[in-house]
Amino acid sequence: MEHGSQIEGPGTTATGPLSGAGNLPSGAIEAAVLRGEQSNTSIIVRSETGNAMVKVFRQLAEGLNPEVELGAALAKAGATDVATALGWIDAEWSLRGGERASGQLAVVHEFLEGGTDAWSFALEAAVEGRSIAQDARALGAATARVHEALADTLGIAVLDDQTGPPFVDRLASRLRSAWDEVRDSIGVDDAALENLLDSLGGAVDGLPVQRIHGDLHLGQVLRFPEGERPFAILDFEGEPLRPVAERSHPDVVLRDVVGMLRSFDYAAGAARRTDPAARVSEGWADEAGRAYWEGYASVAGGEDPFGTPLFAALWLDKALYEVAYEERNRPAWAEIPIRAARSALTAWLPESAAGAAGESIAGGAAQAGPGTAHGAAFSLPGEETDVSPHGEHGTNAAGAAEQEAVGRRDAADDGAVRGAALAAASVADGGASLPSHVAAGAGEKAPIPVDGDVIAKLAAGAYHAPHAVLGAHLDGEGTVTFRTVKHLAQGVTVLTPEGRVPLRHEAHGVWVGTVPESDTGHVPDYRLEVEYGEGHFVTLDDPYRYMPSIGELDLHLIGEGRHEELWKALGARVERHHSMLGNVEGTAFTVWAPNAQAVQVKGDFNGWDGREHSMRSLGSSGIWEIFIPGVVAGMCYKFGILTKHGHWVERADPMAFGTEVPPQTASRVVESRYAFKDDAWMAERAATDPLDAPMSVYEVHLGSWRPGLGYRELAEQLVEYVTWMGFTHVEFMPVAEHPFGGSWGYQVTSYYAPSSRFGHPDDFRYLVDQLHQAGIGVIVDWVPAHFPKDEWALAKFDGEALYEHADPMQGEHPDWGTLIFNFGRTEVRNFLVANALYWLEEFHVDALRVDAVASMLYLDYSRAEGQWRPNQFGGRENLEAISFLQEANATAYKRNPGIAMIAEESTAFPGVTKPTSVNGLGFGLKWNMGWMHDSLQYVEEDPVNRRWHHNKMTFSIVYAFSENFLLPISHDEVVHGKGSMLRKMPGDRWQQLANLRAFYAFQWAHPGKQLVFMGCEFGQESEWNQEYGLDWWLADLEPHRGLQSLIRELNTVYRATPALYEKDFDPAGYEWIRGDDDSHNTISFIRWSADGEPLVCIANFAGNPHIDYTVGLPRAGRWRELLNTDAKEYGGSGVTNSGYVMAEEGEWDGKAATAVLTLPPLGVVYLVPDSGDTTGA
């Protein structure tokens, strides 16, 4: 974009002026659309030259937009307490009558990184009862500096006897207009308002007026506690419900001051409403408000305005605006501004004027006691339990952090009960009373005609565009036609604010009726009253009066295969709406089924009969959509799909967030209310490279670790155990829902739903959160390679091969009897890439271990000649799968710094952990299957024979640094007749345990991260079986407890010794001492830390000790025996070096020093330089 650049279209011209301040992004850019509810569309644009926030105005308005005008003025003044305006887009367009109009389409500001929104900060402080006076004072000073910058650039005027009365008239007009809309809610006599207005007559003479913010509150402010500027004020557009011309009037600066004081009051009220344990004091908002004024006056001067008629009028003006806003959007929250308005007006009632002095800033009656004033915590019908960003004082600031739900979910959803009550409610919550009289003109005009075939399809739920016929539709002559499908009904009546509209039965269960329009060009708000016989009446909302719940941008991104937050567009999402007749809670259902003729939603809310809930097709996108009022969290559902061959099939939702407990197969509506408390962990994760950090992984199968535990019980017992054992990470075998427990989770049917076997999705969030708070990372197995053929799930989802490849040579797995994803289809790739992001972002998972990568990489995997087709270049590589893996990895790392993508890949495919920028697959880590196979084969040999297999323990170093490896001893090694790790070891029980101790110590010292399966840490006797728990009783027996103690010590040493993890993937971090001593069955090597500190590992896999064994060491002096696996506390024989080894000057094994020590039988010794050595060597 260059200054003055111009674009022309039909009847429209757009130009792009720049402010001259700051730098616009240029060159290669990245853009992301903010999805929070805002008055406009905000897009973050990043580039190497700078970052910016583009705000696109959703509603065109003629005239100069205040945000553009004020932004340009502040940029010219060099204001530092705002986000600098960089440029904007002017436009000129034609109106219907041929006239020309001009205005702005968008504005661009600098994007401020690292700020937090002041609303969340204030709300948290209010809940905790913590004073924010110091911050409020600084914010007041920042506000004053912004006002001064606007005055310097745009000038000021002084109200006099000519300009003062029009100013008062405008204010009075605003107040009276707002009062007319909400007076019934306020409940104060009109005389109070008139008395206040009468007092304004002489109160404004001599007051300066200028351009101001116009809609200042905490949600318009970013806080930078460590920055040079403590606050940045944003969004100078003014109150979005006011006309542009009205927002451009010069005004008194006191309006902005009052707006911020109202926001402090809102924060106090919101704290009481959302947290029953909130400790906010009654004077909290007043203290913040007075401090804010002190800060303002310290820059701009001025007398205390509290208690003046102008202050009261501006306070009331803002409060009435808030009441109207909340009653339209969140009626349960209207009580907060209602009480503020009453507080301001009570002082002006004739009978109470003399005694109205109180302590509140508003100058009204004294503050009420706890639980009554300023938005006390009480319940209203349809009340929201979270402080959401769409409230008038909620977060509206670009770049501010989204607010999370307050409170936690009950143990089980009561959704079905609640939903039934909502669906059958006789009067919608918070709405006007429903009428008892017949609307004037009802039934007098003929309805919009519809073809009989369409009526029949509607009745069967088989029409692709039901919203085009059902619901309310206005014809060209001012008549509204209502149509609805109500099978088995004996009568249907539409209830509107103007009266009742009886419907007649048209055909096949379709009912129709008409009424004259009451609001020109609009259909009325309405509900349906259905009679089912014997006087049984049910009042329902109509799904077909709602606009699509998915936007054009979502559809575009889905079509491109680049919707990285697909779970926010598809699936089942609980939504809340407000209308004249009351609050509405329901669920928006959206599904991709491009081959379907029709799609229905069926569930326990409609008796599993979806004919009355057919979805609308959104064209070539293949997306189907419907919002169903009354369907709430906890309800079960499936999609009924009419295939192109004319058959109805029933499918679970591919994007479902929850499911029934298997073997039941329905999807479940889920609404998360969990607020993570792992901010410190997430911040540290983002700043840490996992490749340079310790990673000792404990692999867990949730159902058999301790059978019978759910997510929340695991959050107590598993967290305690893993913390005690010292592992850095837990890896869960697949958590996503799967129908067959014997698959261990590796045949997934619901990729977006944590298994309901163990609790609610929020319970899994709690488990992850507790692990993080204990300092433990979470890895989850992810299975994008294949999925089962269950006919109710993904297989032939809409009657055709959709998620799977249509060609059996690419779409079916011969070994596992499963289907393979069509990795070349953009929507399927999007489904999988977004799924990876879903687990990382919605559940704060730290790493994904990608299962069966090898099966994805090769077209001939497990296929004989003639059972596969070469790729376009004649090779065996699956180029589409490779491209998908690269996209998934690159996107995951881009969006989530500090995570790890881990490949289970068993071949020598090159570049698995190389960056995608050099055509690698882009994984962070790869399981070292070669090391696992070779090393297990070695230790399974009797020690007498090991010398002939010595290379199996040393060969891994040949390729150890070709990839970033993780050394796995996983579940795969202790199943299917392979026996437990203990039973693999030769000899008697003592020798078996000694072998295990030596093997694990060797594994921990070998380059690479490490993983062991549950039970291996204490020497599980039997082979693992998912139907049974571990043999925990073994851990109480002395020899096994010793092995468990060794694993604890290994983890302690590992965490405390950077040489064991800092240079895992750098050849400079490893040095052989001697790898060829096969006659002694010994291996010795050095691990080096980044700062040059060594750890020496000497392993003796012989069945006898080696006395006076000579070894080369890198330096002379005293070396401490950091670990000896034969120590008695680990169940060993006690053959040690008494804690220390002395190294003398003199070359041995190519090293500078020589040491003589004792190596224990089937034992490993770790040596480190003794930091307390005073020998001077």
Q: Over the stretch 718-755, which tens digit does the pLDDT of each residue have?
A: 999 999 999 999 999 999 999 888 888 788 999 999 99
CA distance 550 to 621: 12
pLDDT at residue number 520 = 83
pLDDT at residue number 144 = 95
pLDDT of residue 74 exceeding 80:
yes
- DSSP string of 1076-1139, one letter each residue: --TTTTEEEEEEE-TTS-EEEEEEE-SSS-EEEEEEEESS-EEEEEEEETTSGGGT------TT
Average pLDDT over residues 1093-1121: 96
pLDDT at residue number 306 = 87
CA distance 992 to 1006: 21
Q: Which residue has the tokens 């402090």?
A: 264
Show the tokens assigned to 395.
Answer: 């977060």
pLDDT at residue number 563 = 95
3-state secondary structure of 487: coil
Average pLDDT over residues 126-142: 93
Active-site hit among 678, 699, 851, 973: 851
- Counts of helices then strands in the chain (DSSP H, E): 27, 48
pLDDT of residue 34 exceeding 90:
no
pLDDT of residue 643 exceeding 60:
yes
CA distance 281 to 266: 13
CA distance 808 to 822: 11
Average pLDDT over residues 797-816: 92
pLDDT-based confidence at residue 351 (cuts at 50, 70, 90) = low
pLDDT at residue number 1151 = 94
Instruction: Report the share of the chain in percent with pLDDT over 70.
Output: 90
pLDDT at residue number 404 = 29
More confident residue, 1023 or 59: 1023
In terms of average pLDDT, the best of 29-33, 165-169, 580-584, 850-854 is 850-854
**Alpha-carbon distances, residue 529 vs 163, 522, 538, 831 (angstroms):** 56, 21, 6, 40
pLDDT of residue 493 exceeding 60:
yes
More confident residue, 711 or 23: 711
3-state secondary structure of 318: helix
Average pLDDT in the chain: 87
pLDDT at residue number 57 = 80
pTM: 0.68
- Out of 33-47, 220-234, 787-801, least confident range: 33-47
Range list of β-strands (E), 563-622: 571-579, 582-592, 598-603, 616-617
pLDDT at residue number 412 = 33
Q: Which residue has the tokens 């937009």?
A: 65
**In 62-91, which positions are buried (b, 16+ CB within 10 angstroms) versus exposed (e)?**
eebbbbbbbbbbbbbbebebbbbbbbbbbb
pLDDT-based confidence at residue 377 (cuts at 50, 70, 90) = very low
Let me know: does 802 contact 622? Beta carbons within 8 Å: no
CA distance 200 to 788: 75
Domains, the chain, with CATH or none = 5-111 (3.30.200), 117-352 (3.90.1200.10), 452-540 (2.60.40.10), 552-576+583-668 (2.60.40.10), 695-927 (3.20.20.80), 929-1169 (2.60.40.1180)
Active-site hit among 804, 904, 973, 1064: 904
pLDDT at residue number 368 = 29
**Alpha-carbon distances, residue 797 vs 491, 649, 1108 (angstroms):** 37, 9, 70
Closest CA to 1029 of 587, 605, 702: 702
pLDDT at residue number 400 = 38
Q: Alpha-carbon Rg of the chain, whole angstroms?
A: 35
851 flagged as catalytic: yes
904 flagged as catalytic: yes
Show the tokens assigned to 512.
Answer: 């129709």
Show the tokens assigned to 834.
Answer: 């977004």
Strand order in the sheet with 231-233: 116-117, 221-223, 231-233
Q: Over the stretch 398-456, which tens digit does the pLDDT of each residue have?
A: 333 322 222 323 333 333 333 333 444 333 344 556 678 999 999 999 999 999 999 99
CA distance 508 to 527: 21
Question: Using H for helix, E for strand and C for coil, what is the string for 711-731?
Answer: HHHHHHHHHHHHHHHCCCEEE
pLDDT at residue number 620 = 87
For CA atoms 822, 828, 831, 833, give the dihedral sign: positive
Let me know: does 116 contact 401? Beta carbons within 8 Å: yes
Residues linked to residue 1010 through DSSP beta bridges, in sequence order: 696, 967
Average pLDDT over residues 829-836: 97
CA distance 1047 to 727: 9
Average pLDDT over residues 449-473: 93
pLDDT at residue number 587 = 96
pLDDT of residue 573 exceeding 70:
yes
pLDDT-based confidence at residue 394 (cuts at 50, 70, 90) = low
